[in-house]
Amino acid sequence: MADQGFAMVELFPAEKPLIGVVHLLPLPGSPRYGGSMEEIVDRACRDARVYTQGGLDGLILENYGDLPFFPETVPPEMVAAMTLVGAEVRRVTSLPTGINVLRNDSMAALSLANALNSPFIRVNVLMGAMVTDQGIVQGQAHRLLRQRMILGSPAKIFADVMVKHARALVQEDLDISARELVGRGLADALIVTGRATGEEPVVGELKSVKQAVGDIPVLVGSGVTPENARELLALADGAIVGTSLKKDGQTENEVDVSRVRDLLKHLGR
């Protein structure tokens, strides 16, 4: 079982890993599905190769194209498609690769991680309730942690603190929410984001979360750019990066290897 207070080097080849997001094209069943699983696989594998060649330390697969998102349980055809894509991505890179099933299907993410031997999953709402564009999304920590025990899965749970594109149903101090996620939700690591995809987190909020949870890893989950990366990673234990590494800085575009290398250059890597 995963233990709290682990070091990031247990999962990644760096003390403060940079994790590239593989934003999947719309999957079967989604309104914008293009009709070709081959196209989805090819795009995901190209992005994974570019992140790898550029020098990143890990990846995370995310069904970003499946708008509008299901608030919790996604249908089986999406899980099947993500399994296929994940297996093909593993063929083209040896980077540790996590799973995020939007909007908040943590049980599907854990099942995928178990099948694909993924070392971590991202859970947008692990505890409490958030008001989102999908309605009220509620945490499922009580189910997820028990299922992890049943499966004997070593996958770490990376949980968002006040996730982007959402507001807390009941307002609570950020440091209290962070401590609750770790102490009562048993999250292994926490993620701090800006208010929306591609937006930088508030530095004061990042500091507050890190101070609240001590040795528990805290990652920046959005808005990392070459210009702010050094400042943010001085406070955090790693970063999940996507939008700023895409062509023209647009989330839907393919990964640009020159942007990946520019980010690492600014970090002295």
Residue 2, domain member (yes or no) = no
Residue 49, domain member (yes or no) = yes
- Give the pLDDT confidence score for residue 170 in this predicted structure: 77
- Report helix, strand or coil for 223: coil
Length of the chain: 269
**Average pLDDT, integer, range 64-81:** 96
Q: Is 214 left (phi over 0), alpha (psi -120 to 50) or beta?
A: left
Residue 236, domain member (yes or no) = yes
Residue 1, domain member (yes or no) = no
Residue 3, domain member (yes or no) = no
**Average pLDDT, integer, range 94-114:** 98
Report DSSP state, residue 16.
Answer: S
Instruction: Retrieve residue 223's tokens.
Output: 């808005």
- Report helix, strand or coil for 217: coil
State yes or no: pLDDT of 1 exceeds 50.
no
**Average pLDDT, integer, range 191-204:** 88
Answer for the pair 192, 122: CB distance below 8 angstroms, yes or no. no
151 contact partners, CB below 8 Å, separation of at least 6: 110, 114
**Average pLDDT, integer, range 32-51:** 98
145 or 132: which leads in pLDDT? 145
162 or 232: which leads in pLDDT? 232
The pTM assigned to this predicted structure is: 0.95
Question: What's the Rg (C-alpha) of the chain?
Answer: 17
Instruction: Retrieve residue 236's tokens.
Output: 């955090």
CA distance 11 to 107: 21
- Give the pLDDT confidence score for residue 3 in this predicted structure: 52
How far from 115 is each of 79, 82, 83, 128, 211, CA to CA, in Å? 11, 11, 8, 28, 35
Residue 122, domain member (yes or no) = yes
Count of structural domains, the chain: 1
Domain CATH number, residue 245:
3.20.20.390
Instruction: Retrieve residue 157's tokens.
Output: 């749970």
- Give the pLDDT confidence score for residue 198 in this predicted structure: 78
Per DSSP, helices labelled H in 55-195 are 76-92, 106-116, 141-151, 174-183
Report DSSP state, residue 255.
Answer: B
- Give the pLDDT confidence score for residue 269 in this predicted structure: 87
Instruction: Retrieve residue 178's tokens.
Output: 């962070």
- Give the pLDDT confidence score for residue 194 in this predicted structure: 85
Residue 262, domain member (yes or no) = yes
Answer for the pair 72, 104: CB distance below 8 angstroms, yes or no. yes
Q: Give residue 2's pLDDT band: very low, low, confident or very high (50, 70, 90).
A: very low
Residue 233, domain member (yes or no) = yes
- Give the pLDDT confidence score for residue 160 in this predicted structure: 96
State yes or no: pLDDT of 267 exceeds 50.
yes
Task: With CA atoms as reference, report the closest residue to 31 among 70, 61, 60, 59.
Answer: 70
Mean pLDDT of the chain: 94
Location of structure tokens 């250059």:
265
Q: Is 96 left (phi over 0), alpha (psi -120 to 50) or beta?
A: beta
**Average pLDDT, integer, range 111-119:** 97
25 or 132: which leads in pLDDT? 25
- Give the pLDDT confidence score for residue 70 in this predicted structure: 96
Q: Give residue 10's pLDDT band: very low, low, confident or very high (50, 70, 90).
A: very high
pLDDT in tens, 234-249: 999 999 999 999 999 9
Which domain, by its residues, includes 32? Answer: 8-266
Task: With CA atoms as reference, report the closest residue to 128 among 151, 104, 108.
Answer: 104
Which amino acid is it at 141?
A
